[in-house]
């Protein structure tokens, strides 16, 4: 009985290590961006478009955006001050240049440190990854906008942006 329990324990431990490594590998690639886990952010930032993973922009971008929600790409996305504070804290803590969430700095390649880009879809890396998408694709009716990541990346809500 004992050896059986031990092998189960070893198996479980190996599995856990494997899961952690897999998570690391995903976080370090350009395919996986951990989805938004904060319920308030999901709700407030996920009704007009998907709640974009915080790792798609640097902290300074989120800070700027959260200060200008009353004119958010022409829309009024404003929320009360306490809500804005909580969302900002979450986004900044999980931003592309934050510590501890895998190394997403590669995603910010060629973004000057002085710039606070507001569009994910204008980051040099995003543009590069999408250079092979034909102009006709973008204007297809089901897609509506470049910002509609889910139209092409069916698992985007779960953080996956691999080719499909």
Partner 1 sequence: MQTLSRFMFLAALTVMSVAQAAPRDDILAAYAAQAKAGDAAFAGVSAVRGEALHRDRHAGGKADSPSCTSCHGENTRAAGRTPVGKTIDPVAVSVAPTRYTDAAKVEKWFRRNCREVLGRECSAREKGDWLAFMITQ
Residues at the contact surface with ligand HEC, assessed by CB under 6 A: 30-31, 44-45, 47-49, 52, 56, 65, 69, 72-73, 75, 77, 87, 119-121, 129-130, 133, 137-138, 143, 145-149, 151-153, 161-163
Q: Which long-range contacts (CB under 8 A, 24 or more apart) does 8-15 make?
A: none
Residues that bind partner 1 (CB under 8 A): 46-50, 74-77, 79, 142-145, 147-148, 150-151
**Partner residues linked to 32 by β-bridges:** 160
Binding-site partner at residue 40 among ligand HEC, partner 1, none, CB < 5 to 8 Å by type:
none
Binding-site partner at residue 142 among ligand HEC, partner 1, none, CB < 5 to 8 Å by type:
partner 1
Binding-site partner at residue 162 among ligand HEC, partner 1, none, CB < 5 to 8 Å by type:
ligand HEC
Give the contacts of 36 (CB within 8 A, at least 6 positions apart): 42, 45, 46, 51, 52, 53, 54, 90
Query: CB 5 → ligand HEC: shortest distance, Å?
Result: 41
**Distance separating alpha carbons of residues 93 and 113, to the nearest angstrom:** 18
User: CB–CB of 106/56 below 8 Å?
Assistant: no
Binding-site partner at residue 15 among ligand HEC, partner 1, none, CB < 5 to 8 Å by type:
none
Query: CB 144 → partner 1: shortest distance, Å?
Result: 4
Tell whether the torsion through CA atoms of 98, 103, 104 and 108 is positive or negative.
positive
Question: Tokens 């031990």 — which residue?
Answer: 6
Q: Which is nearer to partner 1, 89 or 121 (CB)?
A: 121
In order of 40, 57, 79, the CA distances from 82 in angstroms are 11, 22, 8
Q: Which is nearer to partner 1, 4 or 82 (CB)?
A: 82
Q: Which is nearer to partner 1, 27 or 147 (CB)?
A: 147
């Amino acid at each position: 009985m004992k050896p059986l329990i031990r092998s189960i324990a070893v198996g479980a431990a190996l599995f856990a290590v494997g899961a952690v490594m897999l998570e690391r590998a995903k976080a370090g690639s350009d395919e996986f961006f951990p989805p938004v886990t904060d319920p308030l952010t999901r709700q407030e930032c996920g009704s007009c478009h998907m709640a974009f993973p915080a790792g798609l922009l640097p902290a300074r971008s989120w800070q700027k955006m959260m200060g200008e929600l009353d004119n958010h790409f022409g829309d009024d996305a404003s929320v009360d001050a306490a809500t804005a504070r909580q969302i900002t804290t979450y986004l900044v803590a999980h931003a592309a240049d934050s510590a501890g969430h895998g190394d997403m700095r590669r995603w910010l390649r060629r973004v000057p440190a002085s710039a606070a880009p507001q569009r994910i879809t204008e980051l040099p890396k995003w543009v590069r990854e999408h250079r092979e998408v034909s102009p006709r694709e973008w204007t297809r009716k089901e897609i509506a906008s470049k910002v509609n990541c889910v139209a092409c990346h069916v698992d985007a809500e779960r953080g996956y942006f691999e080719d499909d």
